[in-house]
Amino acid sequence: MVRRLLLAVALWGALAFTAQANPTSQDPAKVPAGQYVLDKRHASLLVKVPHMGGFSKFTMRFDRLDGNFTYDPATWTTTKVTITADPTSINTGLPDFDKTIAGASYFDSAKYPVITFVSTKAEGADGKGTVAGDLTFHGVTKPVVLDVTFNGVGPGMLGAGTRIGFSGTTRLKRSDFGVTAMSQFAGDDLDLVFEVEFVKK
């Protein structure tokens, strides 16, 4: 009987903690002002490219991302978010191919060691919207628009601090950034899919 009671108390505590840690709002006006940094352990960026005309979409992942922004809920639409990706961290699951992608024929990471996105404008409602910005990739800067879902704001780990999360997608043409190698095997359109969380400093 005592064991069952202790188990019930533990289960209740676990459920209470889970509820406490959930996002509490998708309203940008309810996100506390301050500086936010990317939680690198809870951030992913996938790139999908059509293989040989579309038999499948070959999928790669960047393993090293960074990012930050300063937030003011009164002016959230002009928040300047900076995200960087290390092109040498591309992960196809094939180590030798990773070196080829990061090399001179594709990303040319020795010459262009950072991929950077800097936002210029955000808009939306009810957790859905877009973020426009400038993407610098392979030495070329172009405007891009991300389709973004604001997953919400809530308490951080163990209920401490503030955490916010986003999911999103966009499509680019690699030829716009001067990456044209092996076009007979890989399509021009790149689909980007990202999941990111930020924590308040």
CATH code (residue 143): 2.40.128.110
Q: Is 116 exposed, middle or buried (0-12, 13-18, 19+ CB in 10 A)?
A: middle
Based on the structure, what is the number of domains in the chain?
1
The DSSP line for 36-92 is EEEEEEEEEEEEEEEETTTTEEEEEEES-EEEEEEE-GGGGGG---EEEE-GGGEE-
Place of tokens 């009987």: 1
**Residue spans of the chain under pLDDT 50:** 5-11, 13-19
- How far is Cα 63 from Cα 86, in angstroms, rounded to an integer? 8
With CA atoms as reference, report the closest residue to 200 among 64, 72, 22.
Answer: 72
- How far is Cα 4 from Cα 176, in angstroms, rounded to an integer? 63
Q: How far is CA 94 from CA 44, 61, 90, in A?
A: 18, 12, 10
Range of the domain at 49: 2-200
